[in-house]
Structure 1
Amino acid sequence: MDWDKLRIFHAVADAGSLTHAGDVLHLSQSAVSRQIRALEESLGTTLFHRHARGLILTEQGELLFDATSSMARKLETTSARIRDSEEHVFGELKVTTTVGFGTLWLVPRLSKLYSRYPDLKIDLLLEERVLDLPMREADVAIRMKEPQQSDLVRRRLLNIRMQLFATRAYLDAAGVPDRVEDLSPHRLICQQPSTPQVSAGAVLSHMLLSHNVSSTLMVNNYFGVLQAVLAGVGIGVLPDYLTADFPDLIRVLPDIESVEVPVFLAFPEELRQSRRVTAFRDFVLEEIQTYRRKQVESDAIRETVD
């Protein structure tokens, strides 16, 4: 059906008069009449009974008026919500990031975002594959490298490195290695270098495994590596953004670490004005600032203990 004809029909049915509907629509009576006749012809039915006192809906006209009334109410509600969205954040937001960053850093902080925006619906996609933002596979991405597409808004969040960590209990029992060669009697926990991951982590793991490590535990994501380290299974290769949230982790071989890895937040240019995207971006930036302060405090405590 022609939406414009339906709009005119609804105005005529609501006013009960072609003239009055024309005044509301700023159309002549003849123009309104032509549109109604065209709609009736397209539907193959009569929508109004015409008499001297005005127009009365036929049974078929009442059915159509019920439908257009429902549409009008939904449009009015939607219009109000769009106006309110300048202050109120709601609706679905599709976010993608890596398994490690998503499970270990982002998810534990989302309760704060939901407390601020209880009507927000987040669809969180955790995978190493880089989703296509311009094709709207996701609305926002947090990735461990700078996006290459030119039509994306991007913001560097922080820089991270992969480092070696263990628990105090494990080191007290197994000893503290002083050189990379001293890793041989320890159990190394890391991702298999051939699995999808940040290349810097793969390079570091490959280098460590080349030093005749006697026992290993390979896990396909950093969440599993962290759990194994916390359980005292061995020494793990982990991203340094964990140090603020897990202050009991002990840095092992401080001179051994990966190259710096940039972390970027990106979203399509057409979502620049989206309240959902803006709210999420601002929240992440606030949490990054808090994280940096905690990381400085955590590092200071470690230096004091050491």
Structure 2
Amino acid sequence: MDWDKLRIFHAVADAGSLTHAGDALHLSQSAVSRQIRALEESLSTTLFHRHARGLILTEQGELLFEATRSITKRLDTASARIRDSEEHVFGELKVTTATGFGTLWLVPRLPRLYARYPDLKIDLMLEERVLDLPMREADVAIRMKEPSQSDLIRRRLLNIRMRLYATPEYLAENGIPEQLSDLATHRIICQNPTTPQVSAGASLVQTLLAQNPRSTLAVNNYFGVLQAVLSQVGIGILPDYLTNDFPNRLVRVLADVESGEVPVFLAFPEELRASRRVTAFRDFVLEEIQAWRRVQHALVAEGESHTGHA
């Protein structure tokens, strides 16, 4: 098949209009129409239903559009990889991670990445659904479990746990729980048990709800839980990676209560091993993890020092 005709077909199918496709391709509407007719003749099929309101793909058109869309994505990837250089990191990078980790840990650190690579364009997709990396739904993923898909390069970043936190003001007004049963007089803030989340977090939620707390607030992501805790709504179940960023606002409650360990992995397709954008992002995240660990160790040491003096 003639690639020029396929390129024009893809633009028309994507725009749903001969006129809009022509504008994007800098071709007249008649030229676009001629190319589509020629392609239909060469395939002996009809690719579009023509209506007054625009064009709708036929079943055969849908099949061809799926193929051209896949080809276009691979060409875009190849083009970006070719443009990448040792000195200059630029272009689009699609990153996916969970809503909580993305909003609470990653996004606050991105200014330092952009300061280093100002021409980088990040498309950050925050959702609990696991995107298909080999099918290029995303370039890089940060996930709360080891990826099971094949042909992925993966790196364990850290291990996290879900713990109980509240503000000093809340505890001063409502008292500090000393054992699990004391939660019966408090409001628990947690992710809704039916919300997609790591199994360790869900197990901890079930354990705490079994204490029949006075009241609950269920939120569908950790960002909402954090805001509720900072607003002194109650005691919240939060990942421990937040502690460094809110050292004076979050106080751990019931130090012996926590979830099982949750591994955090960074992964990307094998075919992007040589991508400068992926390498730059991976190295940045690893540097930030190391910095986080240093602060974490310092905070632990400081807490132990205060305990010793007491």
Q: In structure 1, what is the equivalent of residue 199 of structure 2? A: 199
Deviation at 1:296, TM superposition (A): 1.4
Preserved contact between residue 160 and residue 262 of structure 2 (Cα < 8 Å): yes
Letter in 2 for 1:292: R
Q: Secondary structure at the match of 2:244?
A: coil
Residue 283 of structure 1 pairs with residue 284 of structure 2? yes
Deviations 1:117-174 (A, max 9, x none): 0000000000000000000000000000000012100000000000000111111111
Structure 2 CA distance, aligned partners of 1:244 and 1:303?
16
Letter in 2 for 1:245: D
Q: Secondary structure at the match of 2:164?
A: strand
Q: Secondary structure at the match of 1:244?
A: helix
Q: Secondary structure at the match of 1:148?
A: coil
**Structure 1 residues 271, 194: closer, same or farther in 2, change over 3 A?**
same
Deviations 1:171-228 (A, max 9, x none): 1111111111110000100011111111111110011001111111111100010111
CA RMSD of aligned residues (A): 2.0
Between 92-101 and 163-172, report the one with greater CA deviation: 163-172
**Structure 1 residues 188, 303: closer, same or farther in 2, change over 3 A?**
farther
Residue 86 of structure 1 pairs with residue 77 of structure 2? no
Long gaps (5+) in structure 1: 4-77
Deviation at 1:85, TM superposition (A): 1.4
What is the 5 A alignment of 1:3-42? none
Structure 2 CA distance, aligned partners of 1:137 and 1:275?
19
Q: In structure 1, what is the equivalent of residue 116 of structure 2? A: 116
Q: In structure 1, what is the equivalent of residue 171 of structure 2? A: 171
Q: Secondary structure at the match of 1:184?
A: helix
Q: Secondary structure at the match of 1:145?
A: coil
Letter in 2 for 1:206: Q
Residue 238 of structure 1 pairs with residue 238 of structure 2? yes
Structure 2 CA distance, aligned partners of 1:188 and 1:269?
43
Deviation at 1:87, TM superposition (A): 1.4
Structure 1 CA distance, aligned partners of 2:192 and 2:170?
22
Deviation at 1:298, TM superposition (A): 2.1
Letter in 2 for 1:239: P
TM-score by length of 2: 0.72
Q: In structure 2, what is the equivalent of residue 97 of structure 1? A: 97
Structure 2 CA distance, aligned partners of 1:90 and 1:200?
38
Tell me how many residue pairs correspond in the alignment.
Answer: 232
Preserved contact between residue 243 and residue 298 of structure 1 (Cα < 8 Å): no
TM-score by length of 1: 0.72
Preserved contact between residue 166 and residue 236 of structure 1 (Cα < 8 Å): yes
Structure 2 CA distance, aligned partners of 1:299 and 1:114?
30
Q: In structure 2, what is the equivalent of residue 145 of structure 1? A: 145
Q: Secondary structure at the match of 2:236?
A: strand
Q: Secondary structure at the match of 1:267?
A: strand
Structure possessing the higher radius of gyration over alpha carbons: 1
Preserved contact between residue 186 and residue 213 of structure 1 (Cα < 8 Å): yes
Q: In structure 1, what is the equivalent of residue 6 of structure 2? A: none
Letter in 2 for 1:185: T
**Structure 1 residues 235, 305: closer, same or farther in 2, change over 3 A?**
farther
Structure 1 CA distance, aligned partners of 2:169 and 2:300?
19
Q: In structure 1, what is the equivalent of residue 274 of structure 2? A: 273
**Structure 1 residues 300, 231: closer, same or farther in 2, change over 3 A?**
farther
